[in-house]
Amino acid sequence: MSLIAKGILQGMAVTAKNFIQSYYKKERLPTVEYPEEKSTVNQFTRNIPFLVYDGEDEIEGMRCTACKLCEKACPPQCIYIIKDTDENDKPIKRPKVFDIDSSVCMSCQLCVEVCPFESIRMDSEFELSNENRFEGLLINRDELLKSNEYYHEIHPIEAQETDDRIAAKIAEAETKKKAREEKARLAAEAKQAAAAMKAAEEAAAETETSATEQAQQSEAKAEAPEDNPETKNT
């Protein structure tokens, strides 16, 4: 049997095996009875992005700082961000408005790749149909905010890697902070030591000057002629 014929037979055997298994193996079933039975979503599935927050408070725990890098990197320009402000109209490092037009988003994940704060990630949610094809498909900040626990549920490996990177960055920042504080402490101690040494030198110089002046005064008194009583009586 030639190699070509052998290859054809092997290929047909694999095809026949998969065809037969598609009738009784669930993982090979070609269709799913949706919506009663939903398609399995694995941890590598990605759809519309969402914003990650830490802790219990969604607003205070937001990782997003409204740097707008994702807005600039988005190819279809479906992200719209406005930075938040306080009561004195000073900018706060968080978004007041963060909208994503899901009808335009192509799930390219470029917003995730450019984010320096690990704040935006791809969701696995695929049921985004809406009766209103305009405002209904515009997802706002409050709808995009989801907890880090949710992130661990849908993408456990990726979420753990992200947490490890954040922990490493925090540890590095703490190390640098301690190094700066230690450097500042050593500089302050050196400055105090130099000031103390200067003060001691000045005190020693004053003492030496005073001793010299006293010695000169003593020599002057010793060299001066003493008063003769007989001369005075004459």
pLDDT tens digit sequence for 108-154? 999 999 999 999 999 988 888 888 877 889 999 999 999 999 999 99
Task: Determine the 3-state secondary structure of 22 from DSSP.
Answer: coil
Residue 94 has a pLDDT of 94
Banded pLDDT at 234 (limits 50, 70, 90):
very low
Q: With beta carbons less than 8 A apart as the criterion, state whether 30 and 22 touch.
A: yes
What is the average pLDDT across 193-216?
A: 83
CA 132 remoteness from chain centre: 37
In this predicted structure, the answer to whether residue 232 has a pLDDT above a threshold of 80 is no
Determine which of 35-39, 42-46, 50-54, 68-72 has the lowest per-residue pLDDT on average: 35-39
H or E stretch covering 147: strand 145-147
pLDDT tens digit sequence for 78-98? 999 999 999 999 999 999 999
In this predicted structure, the answer to whether residue 231 has a pLDDT above a threshold of 60 is no
In this predicted structure, the answer to whether residue 157 has a pLDDT above a threshold of 50 is yes
Banded pLDDT at 216 (limits 50, 70, 90):
confident
Residue 29 has a pLDDT of 74
Distance, CA of 234 to CA of 52 (rounded, Å): 114
Q: With beta carbons less than 8 A apart as the criterion, state whether 122 and 47 touch.
A: yes
Task: Look at the chain and count its residues.
Answer: 234
Residue pointed to by tokens 């110089």: 205
| Pair of tokens at residue 228 | 């003769």
Residues 6+ apart with CB under 8 A from 159: 148, 151, 152
% of the chain beyond a pLDDT of 70? 93
Residue 230 has a pLDDT of 55
What is the average pLDDT across 207-223?
A: 75
Among the CATH numbers 3.40.50.300, 3.40.50.1220, 3.20.20.70, 3.30.70.3270, which is that of 46-154?
3.30.70.3270
In this predicted structure, the answer to whether residue 1 has a pLDDT above a threshold of 70 is no
Banded pLDDT at 33 (limits 50, 70, 90):
confident
Helix, strand, coil share (%) of the chain residues, nearest 5: 50, 15, 35
Phi, psi of 145 (to 5 degrees): -70, 125
- Between 97 and 216, name the one with better pLDDT: 97
pLDDT tens digit sequence for 115-126? 999 999 999 888
What DSSP character marks residue 38?
P
Residue 121 has a pLDDT of 95
Residue 57 has a pLDDT of 93
One-letter amino acid for residue 118 of the chain: E
Residue 60 has a pLDDT of 92
Residue 107, sorted as left (phi over 0), alpha (psi -120 to 50) or beta, turns out to be left
Q: What pTM, to 2 d.p., does this model score?
A: 0.69
Residue 125 has a pLDDT of 87
User: Facing residues of 81 across strands?
Assistant: 98
In this predicted structure, the answer to whether residue 227 has a pLDDT above a threshold of 50 is yes
DSSP string, 163-213: HHHHHHHHHHHHHHHHHHHHHHHHHHHHHHHHHHHHHHHHHHHHHHHHHHH
Q: With beta carbons less than 8 A apart as the criterion, state whether 66 and 84 touch.
A: yes
